[in-house]
Structure 1
Amino acid sequence: MEAGKWSQSPGETPFEKLGGEDVVRALAMRFYDAMDRDEPALAHLHRLDENGRVHPESREHFALFLRFWLGGPNDYLLQRGHPMLRARHAPFPVDADMRDAWLRAMTTAMDELGLHGEVREFLDGRFAHVAEFLRNVP
């Protein structure tokens, strides 16, 4: 394996490499905490609760999605169907600023959880790819 480049081995998913359910759920929650705290323009694209924070239901949906997307249980697929990320994000203006805000919130969440090493480099690349893929405004 090339230094700094993690690639999935048979039976080893990013979900498993990160530590499973608890860590992936914590990542999703910290992501939205960082968004609420540091990226208000991005947070306001989401449904908010009575305290002006991203609604708990949105947080839970993302945690469920992240588990699935990282190779964990496929509950998301069973409960919500195919992710259809572009279609789900189409109603919202995702420009370079929103893409970058999303990435900053995710970076903060990963930093706060102490994620590092090869799996972190892998996630940095995958998250950047998806964030750019979802950009729908030049």
Structure 2
Amino acid sequence: MSVDLKPLELNAPPSDDWVPSLEDTPYQRLGGAEAAMALAGAFYDAMDAHEPALAKLHELDAEGRVNPGTRERFGLFLMGWLGGPQHYAERHGHPRLRMRHGHVPVDLSMRDAWLRAMQRAMDARGVTGGLRRFLDERFAQVADFLRNTEG
């Protein structure tokens, strides 16, 4: 799956006081399915380039990059998590994030590496304003929730 990583143009102008709603979800604000998949691609590109210890926790392709299947699954997860179509759940079942990540030791350094990769991805995709603040907060909450090891 090829993902165009040019900066996105948000569907609505960034607003410093934006709050998600059923009529204006993060999925819609981000730009829909293509934008969610592109954010997932940018995330793994940032991980491959800047967070090698984190990348090595994933199945890698022959070039040492996180494999396309992992990238696609995360993109599908993001779509649903952001308030869009629930394609991930339809194909893979409930995300059960803690269970699915339970075999991976997630400490403060891994949490922070994950957040750095996501911040780089959002920078690369041009996510700003209220949407950026919302996603920064939510991604931090989820990353911290997945910690399962001291340190």
TM-score, normalised with respect to structure 2: 0.87
Question: Quick one: distance in 1 between partners of 2:43 and 2:104?
Answer: 19
Q: Which residue of structure 1 aligns with residue 10 of structure 2?
A: none
In structure 1, list runs of 5 or more residues that go unmatched.
Answer: none
Q: Which amino acid aligns with 1:112?
A: A
Alignment match of 2:67 (pick from 55, 58, 67): 55
Q: Which residue of structure 2 aligns with residue 18 of structure 1?
A: 30
The CA deviation string for residues 78-121 of structure 1, in whole angstroms up to 9 with x for no partner, is 11000000000000010000000000000000001111000110
Measured after TM superposition, the shift of residue 12 of structure 1 is 1.6
Matches within 5 A, 1:50-129: 50-129=62-141
User: SS of the residue aligned with 1:25?
Assistant: helix
Q: Which amino acid aligns with 1:21?
A: A
| Percentage of identical aligned residues | 57
Regions of 4+ moved over 6 Å: none
Whether the aligned pair in 2 keeps the contact of 1:5 and 1:121 (CA below 8 Å) is no
Question: Quick one: distance in 2 between partners of 1:83 and 1:105?
Answer: 21
User: SS of the residue aligned with 1:10?
Assistant: coil
Q: Which amino acid aligns with 2:82?
A: L
Counting matched residue pairs gives 136
Whether the aligned pair in 2 keeps the contact of 1:14 and 1:71 (CA below 8 Å) is yes
Matches within 5 A, 1:35-50: 35-50=47-62
User: SS of the residue aligned with 2:66?
Assistant: coil
- Say what the alpha-carbon RMSD is for the aligned residues: 1.1
TM-score, normalised with respect to structure 1: 0.95
Measured after TM superposition, the shift of residue 5 of structure 1 is 4.1
Q: Which amino acid aligns with 2:66?
A: V
Whether the aligned pair in 2 keeps the contact of 1:6 and 1:119 (CA below 8 Å) is yes
In structure 2, list runs of 5 or more residues that go unmatched.
Answer: 1-14
Q: Which amino acid aligns with 1:63?
A: G
Question: Quick one: distance in 1 between partners of 2:68 and 2:144?
Answer: 26
User: SS of the residue aligned with 1:92?
Assistant: coil
